[in-house]
Structure 1
Amino acid sequence: MSATPPRRRIARRAAAGAAALAAALGITATAMPAGADSRHPAPAGRTVDVQLLSFNDFHGNLEPPQGSSGTVEEIQPDGTRKTVEAGGVEYLAQSLRTARKGHPYSVTAAAGDLIGASPLLSGLFHDEPTVEALNKLKLDVTSVGNHEFDEGRAELTRIQKGGCHPTEGCFEKGKKYRGADFPYLTANVTDEKTGKPLLKPYTVWQHKGVKIGFIGVTLEGTPDIVNANGIKGLKFHNEVETINKYAKILDRQGVKAIVALLHEGGLPASTSYNYNCDSPGPGDGISGPIAEIAKKVTPKVDALVTGHTHQAYTCTIPDPSGMPRTVTSAASFGRLYTDTTLTYDRRTGDIVRTSVKAPGAVNHVVNRTQPKAADMTSLIARWNKLAAPVAGRPVGHISADIAGRGANAPESPLGDVIADAQLEATQPAGQGGAQLALMNPGGIRADLAYKASGGEGDGAVTYAEAFTVQPFTNMMNVIDLTGAQLLAGLQQQVSGPNTASPKILQISRGLTYTLDMTKTGADRVVKDSVQLNGAPIDPAKTYRVAMNEFLAGGGDGFPAFKDAANKYVGPSDLDAFTTYLTAHSSAQSPLTPPKADRITVVK
């Protein structure tokens, strides 16, 4: 028959609608289905469209994230920007299930950090609730991220294979944790003794004769951003070399269609999820590690699903042969998912990469106006009942939102609160004798939202909300640092591994300095401006400095702190935070967001 099948007519109308929206938003770049040379397209009727749904950096956000962590920015047709509430596994599951309708070939993949740094509902139970939810929403495969190693290699293996927690046992009476139904891929993470990958390096998805290989890797720099004890005995290899190695192996096995799941990402030129990443040209709207990695990954790989930076982008970056290839990321916390079309040639077994006007990869909002997935609502209710005795305990009150992770400046109001809490917890002579405190920004996982607090906008902060902000339960350390070492640490915020993406430490009251962003590298920290309680830092003097154990171990690219002397181990960072909130706030006198004026920024 010559008539166009109904499914293809629908697909064409959808593509036309996408093109119209792209034009309305000023998006004119040519993204494409992601593989073989476009100069030799497959004959009509020989190909099938495979739907690749993907997301990344979920971090156990089963319930809708609060504050700015639960919104995305959307460019409107007239060029204005709109903030849209998004996220929550009830809505993510509904979104994915709706997206799959009408697509007989659909695979769902993720790019790591699905667990770890999770809110209390998941973190309290070592992320078993999140894996249960991911099983229910039919995730097919994921790479590992750095946060999958937060509790160590043995715990990651348990998360994959199942079994009750080794020290806390089974959390539900009569139920044993069954593990992940999907494979975690660790192609570039090997055992130092055996040289073998910790878990599977790749997997092959098959459906009705269609075969697509998935290779999963995490960033090579994982040892710099996780607790050393969690990765003892493991080696992390170069991302490009590893992907290229396993792409050759898959190719020799006859698997020609390949997708890399890479927990490393980029920095888009816009904060809006639907901006044109390929304007003025392919890949021009993105920078950072993924931009260089994508240019070096073998052309055998047909698409890259990425993560880690918590940014949203659907870009086209040419592979080493010059052919266009999609590189995508769906922000974080389940606020977006990416829908990529892979055109599969049944005869060659490869993906046909052809330049087309309509985008081949699109990010979609997981909006909260759609119906909730009932099975996820039941799952959340079940685990919330178990968590209730701990989660609902009030620990403080706030007068307004206190921005942390979503703050746009190097210094955030919540960062100031946390640093002050850590100083207060370790300042007494018998508890470390700290004179100042430093907090790594990546350890602040959420805002404190007035509206979300208590559920009715009354400003009450629960233990669950405090846990969401500080979920790692790192122990506080107080160490001796000379003024020279302290200055070196401040300079490492904007130099070395942190040159391209500065990690500005949050500082306690009394410490002030100027950050001159018109300069480069270490010179951005104006040495003469660094003062403690109004007195210049003396390079020869010794100071007692509080920080969490991760930072004290040199984490996040701060080697200046690694070999410090006279270490005192204090309470956990979470205990310091909750104790401070209780001591400094009440319903009658809530905590007011600080001004965040300790760091003077010159732009």
Structure 2
Amino acid sequence: MTNRNRLARFALPLIIAAAGPGVVQGAAPAPATVTVGILAINDFHGSIEPPKQSVLAPDGKGGTVQVPAGGAAYLASAVQTLRGQYRYSATVSAGDLISASQLASSIYLDEPTIGVANRIGLDFNAVGNHEFDRGRQELLRMQRGGCKQYTVRKPCQVDRFTGAKFKFLAASTITESGRPLFPAYGLKSYGQGVRKVTVGFIGLTLKGTTDLVSPGGIKGLTFRDEAKTINALVPQLKAKGADAVVVLIHQGGQQDKPIDPSGCSGFSGDIMPILDQLDPRVDVVVSGHTHRAYVCDYAKINPAHPLLLTSSGVYGEGLTDIALEIDPAMNKVVAKRARNLIVQSVPYTGSRGPVPLSPLYPVYPADPVVAGYIQQYIDAAKVFATRPAGHLAAPASGTVLGQLIADGQLDATRPAGAQIALMNPFGVRAPIVPADDHSVKFGDIYAAQPFNNTLVTQSLSGAELKAVLEQGFDESGPYQALIPSAGLSYGYDMTRPVGDRVVDLRFAGQPIDPAATFRVTTNSFLAQGGDSFTLLARQKDGVIGISDLDALEAWLKGTDLRPVPEALRAAEVKH
């Protein structure tokens, strides 16, 4: 089977605008229409190297398969492949393109990520909350270029940074002057004469960015209501000749059964109230923030808003292929369709063993230009592996290291109200062995936590907390006891029925009250339902914090000699 045929198997049905009397719904568009392809990503987070993660996808037999995916050189190849199928196209991002990034990008202030996006040919990126992590001036430098220093890290260490060739869009991010920090929208036109069509792109972040970013990074900025901002701009775009309106917004939702990246099963999320208020002339909403993949014909959820809603997932592991059929005579979109493609890249060995390539999905070769560009940053970053990162009294590995990590995460997220932190044991990838003088190098802690997850703090009732812990001992996947931070303890009894194996659950020495509310921190992998802890993915009040790696380093630097935890806090009662 050719790659083209494999792709076709997972295409969603064509979504057609309302048809008049005697017109067959779903019929092929008239030859007079112009097709424009929109290639979309979101939440790339500086993942210039393959992230050693996989996408859960249908296996064609009623089951699922894990498909290894991601890596900028492979994403570039996938974009080029899709772009070749369209005469006219645009490539866009719905925010969090930078920050919470991999080492080789983060160390260099995400300059390599901007360079990668330039080489891929990105047209627009809506600012997300993580774009503000290093402050307003550094974000402006990402657009404008230059080597002026606004952070503790020195810019332009590998090459002079010339800035983004694409445009950041920030319609709802308002400065002291009352104007947007970046342009509110962008226009792209295709064709000539009577066949000319124009697509307008509105870009914005979520109103709740103020709750997700350090106040110093957004001082003087306000974040306006998303729906009101979009609706005020639609007439302006139409007046400028936009035949199609595409919104790039850093807000999203999730499926209740995410087994198909192009599915829309039981969709929910904070983006829905926004969509339900939008001007019906909005044709497509490219979303993000939740790191979930989906494609929704929103007319099936709310017929008054027949838009197409998409999200590609996270870390460049997916790429959304959107096709708009535009009638230039009618000045509107008459049909639209979308699908999420998995950017299958290289096999890897994960916490559950090898994850091989899948013959069910295309394998994209690495783009040599992008791969070569990335390699210079990977090579340069090796220097940082040897820098001091704190002290540790003795070697730590396994569950004991997991407790150390959890304690650091708890300390880092106390401003978000954290009372408890939970670490997945499979996320502890290597021991930390200090030198004879008890010093620890950055490379040591990075090897222990190489995933570059962010921290997420959310509210759980005592009953929900127990249910989450129970998922470590159910029949779905391997058994694993989530490792708790100081203050929480529990046991487990494998002779008891599934769902009732966690025993003696205590916080601060007292039995957990099922009705009480606790603020619980996990890494973003767990918060997305990773390692089969799906109950964590259902929460909706998560506050995103710093990276897990930054939290561990801060913890190890907190004293002259950080002791290892003295005893396990999660002990098996019966096996």
TM-score normalised by the chain length of structure 1: 0.67
Corresponding residue for 1:531? Answer: 507
Within a 5 Å distance, the mapping from 1:216-295 to structure 2 comes to 216-274=203-261, 276-277=263-264, 285-295=266-276
In structure 2, relative to structure 1, the CA distance for the partners of 1:418 and 1:339 (3 Å cut) is same
* Alignment of 1:171 onto 2:156: yes
Q: SS in structure 2 opposite 1:333?
A: coil
Corresponding residue for 1:147? Answer: 130
Distance 1:152 1:146 in 2: 11
Corresponding residue for 1:52? Answer: 38
* Alignment of 1:85 onto 2:85: no
* Alignment of 1:299 onto 2:283: no
Corresponding residue for 2:143? Answer: 160
Shift of 1:290: 2.0
In structure 2, relative to structure 1, the CA distance for the partners of 1:222 and 1:135 (3 Å cut) is same
Distance 1:31 1:439 in 2: 47
Distance 2:305 2:512 in 1: 54
* Alignment of 1:312 onto 2:293: yes
**Deviations 1:197-248, CA, capped at 9 Å, x for gaps:** 1110000012223210000111111111111111111111111111111111
2:185 maps to which of 202, 215, 219: 202
In structure 2, relative to structure 1, the CA distance for the partners of 1:183 and 1:423 (3 Å cut) is closer
Shift of 1:384: 1.7
What are structure 2's unaligned runs of at least 5 residues? 346-362, 432-441, 463-481, 492-503, 514-519, 524-539, 544-548
Within a 5 Å distance, the mapping from 1:296-445 to structure 2 comes to 296-318=277-299, 322=304, 324-353=306-335, 360-368=337-345, 369-391=363-385, 416-421=403-408, 438=419
Contact 2:409/2:421 (8 A) holds in 1:
no
Contact 2:262/2:339 (8 A) holds in 1:
no
Shift of 1:94: 0.7
In structure 2, relative to structure 1, the CA distance for the partners of 1:494 and 1:345 (3 Å cut) is farther
Corresponding residue for 2:96? Answer: 113
- Which stretch shifts more, 207-216 or 299-308? 207-216
Contact 1:422/1:546 (8 A) holds in 2:
yes
In structure 2, relative to structure 1, the CA distance for the partners of 1:119 and 1:595 (3 Å cut) is farther
Q: SS in structure 2 opposite 1:371?
A: coil
Distance 1:575 1:71 in 2: 27
One-letter amino acid of the structure 2 residue matched with residue 190 of structure 1: I
Contact 1:305/1:329 (8 A) holds in 2:
yes
Shift of 1:103: 1.3
What are structure 1's unaligned runs of at least 5 residues? 1-12, 23-28, 278-283, 355-359, 403-412, 427-431, 452-459, 475-488, 496-504, 515-527, 539-544, 549-555, 560-570, 586-590, 599-603
Distance 2:311 2:338 in 1: 10
Shift of 1:99: 1.3
In structure 2, relative to structure 1, the CA distance for the partners of 1:531 and 1:350 (3 Å cut) is same
Instruction: Report how many aligned residue pairs link the two structures.
Output: 465
Contact 1:297/1:320 (8 A) holds in 2:
no
Contact 2:243/2:328 (8 A) holds in 1:
no
Distance 1:379 1:422 in 2: 34
Q: SS in structure 2 opposite 1:309?
A: coil
Shift of 1:579: 6.5
Shift of 1:52: 0.8
* Alignment of 1:181 onto 2:168: no
One-letter amino acid of the structure 2 residue matched with residue 418 of structure 1: I
One-letter amino acid of the structure 1 residue matched with residue 308 of structure 2: T
In structure 2, relative to structure 1, the CA distance for the partners of 1:19 and 1:161 (3 Å cut) is closer
User: Over the residues paired in the alignment, what is the CA RMSD in angstroms?
Assistant: 4.5
Corresponding residue for 2:467? Answer: none
In structure 2, relative to structure 1, the CA distance for the partners of 1:449 and 1:466 (3 Å cut) is closer
Corresponding residue for 2:501? Answer: none
In structure 2, relative to structure 1, the CA distance for the partners of 1:547 and 1:113 (3 Å cut) is closer
Corresponding residue for 2:516? Answer: none
One-letter amino acid of the structure 2 residue matched with residue 171 of structure 1: C
Shift of 1:252: 1.9
One-letter amino acid of the structure 2 residue matched with residue 214 of structure 1: F
Distance 2:402 2:148 in 1: 33
TM-score normalised by the chain length of structure 2: 0.70
1:127 maps to which of 107, 110, 129: 110
In structure 2, relative to structure 1, the CA distance for the partners of 1:324 and 1:64 (3 Å cut) is same
In structure 2, relative to structure 1, the CA distance for the partners of 1:160 and 1:448 (3 Å cut) is farther
Shift of 1:390: 1.0
In structure 2, relative to structure 1, the CA distance for the partners of 1:361 and 1:579 (3 Å cut) is same
Distance 1:329 1:473 in 2: 21
Shift of 1:529: 7.0
Identical aligned residues as a percent: 35
Contact 1:32/1:324 (8 A) holds in 2:
no
Contact 1:187/1:242 (8 A) holds in 2:
yes
Contact 1:212/1:258 (8 A) holds in 2:
yes
**Deviations 1:489-547, CA, capped at 9 Å, x for gaps:** 99x5569xxxxxxxxx9952332489xxxxxxxxxxxxx97531x25799xxxxxx999
One-letter amino acid of the structure 2 residue matched with residue 351 of structure 1: V
Shift of 1:155: 1.1
